[in-house]
Chain A
Amino acid sequence: QKEVEQDPGPLSVPEGAIVSLNCTYSNSAFQYFMWYRQYSRKGPELLMYTYSSGNKEDGRFTAQVDKSSKYISLFIRDSQPSDSATYLCAMRDAGGTSYGKLTFGQGTILTVHP
């Protein structure tokens, strides 16, 4: 079983739709969860950073973490064509012998069409 699984899509939605992106993971030591947006041939851009279970909202973006199910989500409200990109989930464990190594999902390709 892969440590982090993410449906690669592609996902195509009309402008204004609510987008739901998800990742599952198998390593129960993961405590910190991030979502990145990546445009073609560019670096990952940090969107959301959450610790443990719960919700976090930032503008049109909401991140959810359910540690009991080992499942994280990113919701994008009122999606815009400029949101078209690859969305990467990433996670890391709480410390110990880890020095912040991130484990990434495959990435989901999102297209928002006008």
Chain B
Amino acid sequence: EPEVTQTPSHQVTQMGQEVILRCVPISNHLYFYWYRQILGQKVEFLVSFYNNEISEKSEIFDDQFSVERPDGSNFTLKIRSTKLEDSAMYFCASSERRAGEAFFGQGTRLTVV
């Protein structure tokens, strides 16, 4: 069964460092998303990406964040200068259609120390 895969599963980084979280969405999907979940809190939307550009983003997704689809299969989230409060689970998701089912990856646990 097709699935969304994310790497790494866990990343520890020093405050101020850049991190790149990687995702391989389901191959025929066209809409890609990043969400995050701070421990004990709701899953929160960060950004959606369609047709090689950001289509929607939340207030959380400030200038420190960027997304890229560098090739036909990968979808990345970059945090330029990590803060302690960026520590969370980051989930990638993809959909075949705008209003279709969204399938999530297993997440990357980011710990900023």
Q: Does A102 count as interface, using CB distance less than 8 angstroms?
A: yes
Q: Give how many B residues have a beta carbon under 8 Å from the other chain's beta carbons.
A: 30
Q: Give how many A residues have a beta carbon under 8 Å from the other chain's beta carbons.
A: 28
Q: How close is B11's CB to chain A, nearest CB, in angstroms?
A: 14
Task: Name, among A99, A101, A107, the residue most crowded by chain B CB atoms within 10 Å (CB to CB).
Answer: A99
Among the listed stretches A35-43, A53-61, A69-77, which one makes contact with chain B, having 4 or more residues with CB under 8 Å of it? Answer: A35-43
Question: A100 near B43 (CB under 8 angstroms)?
Answer: no
Contact with B along A74-105 (1 / 0, CB 8 A): 00000000000000101010110111111111
Question: A107 near B42 (CB under 8 angstroms)?
Answer: yes
Q: Does B25 count as interface, using CB distance less than 8 angstroms?
A: no
**Would you mind naming 7 contact pairs between A and B with Cβ atoms under 8 Å apart?**
A31-B99, A41-B109, A43-B6, A98-B56, A98-B98, A101-B45, A102-B45
A residues lining the B interface (CB < 8 Å): 31-32, 34, 36, 41-46, 49, 51, 88, 90, 92, 94-95, 97-107
